[in-house]
Amino acid sequence: MSDISAAFVRLHARLAPVPFVPEVRLHQADEPIGLWELTEGEFHSAQPPPFWAFAWAGGQGLARYVTDHPEVVAGRRVLDLAAGSGLVAIAAARAGAAAVRAVEVDERAVAAVALNAEVNGVRVDAELGDILDGDAGDAEVVLVGDAFYSEAMAKRMLRFLLRVARAGARVLVGDPDRAFLPRDRFRRLAGYDVPVPEALESVRVKHTTVWELNPALPGAAR
């Protein structure tokens, strides 16, 4: 975690409980548009959008599920992929995971994960990198919150998740009905109505589903 990135997170986000998972506190931005412009994080830019600064619906739903069902991660090695703020990773660590690794492509997100884990009194190994063309290491459970937001990302993510599921990892995804999630390859575990920033989602509540990937379902080999 670089000192500059950590200072940026502290300056532009304040600690607050997560609306749907109040057991966890995160550094969160009050005003999304200003921060988006400040980080030059539009989708056409080389700089990733500041996903780390908000508690997105998919992550909130998945973190709620892990918190309420700690047996999913307790005693297991966990990978939180496209971790954003680290909300899901922190929930897994609080639920008793043996080890938690959170991977992000944005250096500021890595700093946010580290800061947020420290504030919540848990250990999360925050890592900078793109591992979608590789594997999940020794992870026994892979958690993904709200990562199917574009067609390109969804295709890469699905290939990775199918690969790690076939290698034996359990894969859970939190998704607020994004268009690019291939639902026919998952089974539903739970559904929640999650409060979200209206400035981000144009609504105050997003229905969010927690899914488990089943690589044996029809179409999964494609």
Give the span between the Cα atoms of 37 and 15, in whole angstroms.
Answer: 21
pLDDT at 44: 40
Closest C-alpha among 215, 94, 101 to residue 166: 215
Domains of the chain, residue spans: 3-213
pLDDT at position 13 over 80: yes
Per-residue pLDDT reduced to its tens digit, 160-219: 999 999 999 999 999 999 999 999 999 999 999 999 988 778 899 999 999 999 877 655
Pair 38, 22: CB distance under 8 Å: no
Q: What's the confidence (pLDDT) of residue 43?
A: 39
Per-residue model confidence as pLDDT tens digits over 54-71: 899 999 999 999 999 999
pLDDT tens per residue, range 98-128: 999 999 999 999 999 999 999 999 999 999 9
Q: Which of these, 87, 13, 55, 68, lies nearest to 195 by C-alpha position?
A: 55
Kindly report the pTM of this predicted structure: 0.90
CA 61 to chain centre: 10
Half-sphere exposure of 85 (CA within 13 A, CB side): 31
Q: How confident is the model at residue 10 (pLDDT cuts 50, 70, 90)?
A: confident
Q: Please name the fold of domain 3-213.
A: Rossmann fold (3.40.50)
pLDDT at residue 38 tops 80 = no
Residues 211 and 220: their CA atoms lie apart, in Å, by: 15
Residue 2 pLDDT grade (very low, low, confident, very high; cuts 50, 70, 90): confident
Which of the pair, 193 or 37, is modelled with greater confidence?
Answer: 193
Mean pLDDT of 6-35: 86
> How confident is the model at residue 31, as a pLDDT?
66
- Find the mean pLDDT for residues 39-61: 71
